[in-house]
Amino acid sequence: MGRTQAPHFCNEGTDFMEDFFKVGVITTTHGVRGEVKVFPTTDDARRFKRLKEVILDTGKERINLEIEGVKFFKQFVILKFKGIDNINDVEKYRQKELFVPRKNAVRLSRDEYFIADLMGLKVLDEQDGEIGTLEDVLETGANDVYVIRMTDGRELLLPAIKQCVLQVDVEAGFVKVHVLEGLLD
């Protein structure tokens, strides 16, 4: 759901998604006492320890669930929700997404942004000429990569590193970049 020079939280473009961040997806049940195995979609799975509740999106409704217990297993988070005490109560929530309100999201450091806030920003060159629009952020491990739809329709993949990303102004709606030689070939 994330953060680095480029963030690691997902936004799928709806009004709900502007105010809430996806933090995980329930993959399966865990045991018979109502626990679920969650694949975290945030860059810091340990943040689940600090969460008191999450919002479950069933596709038909959104349900507030109070977190009663958190454990970690490999790349998964094992969650126990208050009032859900057997496998039959959680079976129906497989493959459903979990969200937190923006106000409960992790605090960002300087030069860190939520992906949700970057989508659709105008991309400018060093002379303030418009290059295109930021469409996506790819998380590659070493550094994120901005996917920019250029004004001529081409796609530019720009590494989100200090040499390329000169300024981000979410309030003003733009990202100023330096395109390294060879990236437009």
Q: Is residue 169 over pLDDT 50?
A: yes
Q: Could you tell me the two tokens for 72?
A: 């970690």
The residue-averaged pLDDT of 50-63 equals 89
Per CATH, is 120-177 categorized as 1.10.1270.20? no
Q: Could you tell me the two tokens for 86?
A: 């057997």
How much is the mean pLDDT over the chain?
A: 82
- Contact between 145 and 152 under an 8 Å Cβ cutoff? The reply is no
Q: Is residue 185 over pLDDT 90?
A: no
Tell me how far apart the alpha carbons of residues 35 and 94 are, in angstroms, rounded to a whole number: 11
Sequence spans of domains, the chain: 15-104, 120-177
Q: What is the pLDDT of residue 47?
A: 80
Tell me how far apart the alpha carbons of residues 65 and 9 are, in angstroms, rounded to a whole number: 21
119-150 core/surface letters (b: 16 or more CB in 10 A; e: else): bebebbeeeeeebbbbbebebeeebbbbbbbe
pTM over 0.85: no
Tell me how far apart the alpha carbons of residues 142 and 54 are, in angstroms, rounded to a whole number: 30
CATH of 15-104, one of 2.40.30.60, 3.90.1150.10, 3.40.50.300, 2.40.30.10: 2.40.30.60
- Structure-token match 């989100």, residue found: 160
Q: What digits encode the pLDDT tens for the residues 6-23? A: 323 333 334 545 578 888
The residue-averaged pLDDT of 176-180 equals 91
Q: What digits encode the pLDDT tens for the residues 23-39? A: 889 999 998 888 999 99
- Contact between 3 and 106 under an 8 Å Cβ cutoff? The reply is yes
Q: What digits encode the pLDDT tens for the residues 77-103? A: 999 999 999 898 889 999 999 988 877
Looking at per-residue pLDDT, the higher value among 114 and 22 belongs to: 22
